[in-house]
Amino acid sequence: MAIENAHLTTLQGAYDVELMEVTLRVRRYAGEGSRPETRSYTVEVATTATLLDALDVVKDKLDGTLAYRKSCRMAVCGSCGMRMDGGAVLACKTAMKPFVDAGHVVTVSPMGNLPVIKDLVVDMAPFWQKVHAVKPFLDTGGVDDPETEWRVTPRQSALIAKESLCIMCGCCVSECNSMDSDPDFLGPAALAKAYRFVGDVRDGDARERLKELSGAHGIWDCTRCYFCNQRCPKGVDPRDAIAKLGGEAFREGIARDEGAKHAKVFVQSTYKGGYLRETELVPKTIGPIAAIQQLPFAFQLARAGKVPNPLAPHKAKDNAEVKRLWKLLEAQAPKHRERATRAPEGA
């Protein structure tokens, strides 16, 4: 026994480590042409062990052919994304003790929405392609060789603080519902990265970026399922970044896309009548021609009483209040994106 569990007995001698037995069900896949299968492994690990520690013991002691990625073991490199019980986690950030205590055997499988190469290793190429597509670098807008540095206040740098935390692990992409339906959707990681530059007060290319991002497979593809915020191990909250991109696109007047028009109708509805008027939503969102194509369908909705009569009054009481509020906030709202200033020469 001393030899088999050498790594643990050494630790035990030195630090008095407590041990526990953990069982993992791991989805194995040997690559193209082979059938995936699930295998169970039981190993002894320290009670402080993470999922990654447990996999390391499995690979070391039971099955050297098991493939997974790892590097830092401390939630900074972004290598060890995988699914546990169907949801993406960083293996090195997931403690096993709660599952052992609950008597629950976890199932480990590769992340979703990415092709599987072997076992728990996915092909990250499509992920990187999308990140590269959003031009993930600063474009100062023609100022190639600044004489003086940009001055960025703490408040301004806080605008992109969350988005700057991304470690490119892919956990947010794994369960993204829109990417599941449209594999070309840029997705949460690339869009959070896009906001990291759109929101950077030193960037001079935001308008062009926003135009690009408002097209097909861009920000208006996001179905707001919030899986990305739920999964992200670093608190980036990609869905919130996408909402901020939408807000910036709206402010820049880039509302040519259907999704942005949809948002615009919502805004006008509360302004005019308090509650959302769905009758206006359909034609204004998809444009008149598409709306005519929708007609038989609208008729079906109307028959079931789903389309409120646009002439019937449903103004919320005291709506004048809301109008005053709208005007006040519009007057306060900055009309343009904030830009950093340059330090004076010689400063």
Partner 1 sequence: MDERYAYYPGCLASLSQKELDSSTRAITKRLDVELVDMPSVTCCGAGDIHEAKPDYYLHLSARILGQAERSGCKTLLTICNVCTLNLRQANQRLTEDPAELARVNDNLKSAGIAGYDGGIDVRHLLWEVSSGDGFERFKQIAVRSLEGLKVAPFYGCQILRPAKLLGFEDPDRPSSLERLIEACGAEAIDYPAKVKCCGFPIVLAREDVALGELVQPLREATEAGADVMVTPCPLCHLSLDAWQAKAADVAGMEFKLPVLHLAQLLGAAAGVEESQLRFRRHIVRLSDDVKEKLRLPSVVSAD
284/271 Cα distance (integer angstroms): 16
Q: Taking CB within 5 to 8 Å according to partner kind, which of partner 1, ligand FES, ligand SF4, none is near residue 75?
A: ligand FES
Which 8-state DSSP code applies to residue 340?
P
CB-based burial label for 271 (10 Å; 0-12, 13-18, 19+): middle
Q: Which of residues 328-347 bind partner 1 (CB under 8 A)?
A: 328-329, 332-333
Please choose, out of 24-32, 148-156, 227-235, 317-325, the segment that lies near ligand SF4 by the rule CB under 6 A. Answer: 227-235
**Tokens in use for 53?**
């520690």
Binders in 178-217 for ligand SF4, by CB under 6 A:
178-179, 187-189, 192
Among positions 37, 85, 101, 149, the unique one binding partner 1 when judged by CB under 8 A = 85
Strand duo 106-109 + 116-118: pairing: unpaired
Partner whose footprint covers residue 171, from ligand SF4, ligand FES, partner 1, none (CB < 5 to 8 Å by kind): ligand SF4
Contact between 217 and 126 (Cβ < 8 Å)? no
Closest CB to ligand FES among residues 170, 218: 170
Tokens representing 183 are 């594999």
Please name the residues in contact with 156: beta carbons below 8 A apart, sequence gap of 6 or more: 201, 338, 340
Under the criterion CB under 6 A, does residue 93 sit at the interface with ligand SF4? no
DSSP-derived pairing of the beta strands 81-84 and 106-109:
antiparallel
State the maximum Cα–Cα separation within the chain, in Å, rounded to a whole number: 83
Instruction: Identify the CA nearest to 124 among candidates 136, 137, 113.
Output: 113
Site map for partner 1, 33-52, x if CB under 8 A?
Answer: --------------------
Q: Does 232 bind ligand SF4 (CB under 6 A)?
A: yes
The residues, ordered by sequence, that sit 6+ positions from 270 with a Cβ below 8 Å of its Cβ are: 276, 322
**Which of 7, 25, 59, 70 touches ligand FES by CB under 6 A?**
70
CA–CA dist 53, 221 (Å, integer): 38
Contacts to ligand SF4 by CB under 6 A: 166-172, 176-179, 187-189, 192, 222-228, 231-232, 234, 236, 238-239, 242
| Residue ranges in contact with partner 1 by CB under 8 A | 85-87, 177-178, 180-182, 185, 220-227, 229-230, 237, 239, 243-244, 246-247, 250, 257-267, 269-270, 274-278, 281-282, 285-286, 297, 300-301, 304-308, 314, 316-319, 321-322, 324-326, 328-329, 332-333
Q: Which residues bind ligand FES (CB under 6 A)?
A: 70-73, 75-80, 90, 92
